[in-house]
Structure 1
C-alpha cells in the first residue's frame, strides 16, 4: 500500500537514498547538500513523496520537487526497484498541477538524453525545446499549460 503526501525535511535521508539509487541521471554525492534540498522543499517550492506502508517501517518509493519561482522541475526520481508501478506518474501529476496552480503557463526540466526519464516525460506530454544540450549534458523540455492533460 502507498500514500502520496507532501515531503518534509524529515524525508531527507530517504530522498537521498532514492536519489543515489538511480542508475540514470546520476548525481555525484555531495554536489547538492541538505540545505539546498530543504530550501527547495520549504522556500523555493514544494516536494512530494510516495510513502510505502505499513508503519512503522515507512520508506518512500520516490519523490518529486518543483520550483515555484520559475516552474522548473528540480527533481523527480523513483527507486529503481519500484519502477513500473505508477509512482512516477502520481508524483509527476501532483507536481505539475501544483506548479500550474502557482500561475505558471510553462514548465521546464532537463534530463539525460535517451534515458527512461526522457521517454517518461515525452509520454506525459513534454516537448524538447531544441536539439542542444545544457551545460550538464541534459536535453531540455517544456510543458505548456494548454498541452497539459493529467493522467486519467
Structure 2
C-alpha cells in the first residue's frame, strides 16, 4: 500500500471509487474530469491510497483556496482498514501547512462519514440548504490533538 499525491492518471480509479460508495452518492456525469483535474492541479491537492499500480483503495481532495474538503472516499470493499484516516490526515496536515486557520466540509447527516469526522475532531455545525451537515476544524484544535 502506498499513500501518494493523486494525478490526472488516477482519474478513472477516482471515479470508480466515487461511484462505488453507498452513502453520499453522486450521479455519474454530474462532475466532469475537467473539474476534478482543476482540484488536483490548480485549486488544491489530492491523495490516493494505491494498493497496486493502477488500483486505488480511496482518495481525498482538499481545496487550498478556502480549506474546503472537496472529496474523501474509500472503496466500500476496503472500508475499515485505516485508508480513510491516512487520507484524511495527509490532506488536513497539508491544508494547515498552507497557512489556513480553518477547514470545512459537508457530508450526509447520520452517515459513516458523519461519524468519522466527529471522531477525527471536526465540530458539527448546521444542516445546509443541500441537506448536508457542515463541519469545521481549526488548526489550533488539530495541532493540539496531534502534538
Shorter chain as normaliser: what TM range?
over 0.9
TM-score by length of 1: 0.92
Other-structure match for 2:83: 87
Instruction: Report how far residue 122 of structure 1 moved.
Output: 0.2
Instruction: Give the TM-score, by structure 2 length.
Output: 0.95
**2:97 counterpart of 1:98:** no
Give the alignment partner of residue 142 of structure 1, picking from 130, 136, 141: 136
Correspondence for 2:57 among 53, 58, 61: 61
| Distance in 2 separating the partners of 1:136 and 1:81 | 28
Query: Number of residue pairs matched?
Result: 145
SS of 2:66's equivalent in the other structure is: coil
Gaps of 5+ in 1: none
Q: How far 1:135 sits from its partner (Å)?
A: 2.6
Which stretches of structure 1, 4 residues or more, deviate above 2 A after TM superposition?
none
Q: What per-residue deviation string (whole Å, max 9, x for no partner) do you get for residues 71-98 of structure 1?
A: 0000000000000000000000000000
For residue 129 of structure 2, give the secondary structure of its aligned residue in structure 1. coil
1:49 corresponds to: 48
Give the whole-Å Cα distance in 2 for the aligned partners of 1:32 and 1:136: 16
Matched, 1:26 2:25: yes
Can you give the 5+ residue segments of structure 2 that lack an aligned partner in the other structure?
none
* Counterpart Cα distance in 2 of 1:113 and 1:142: 14
Partners of 2:62 and 2:130 lie apart in 1 by 19
| Per-residue CA distance 1:22-50 (angstroms, 9 max, x = gap) | 00000011110000000000000000000
> 1:118 aligned to 2:114?
yes
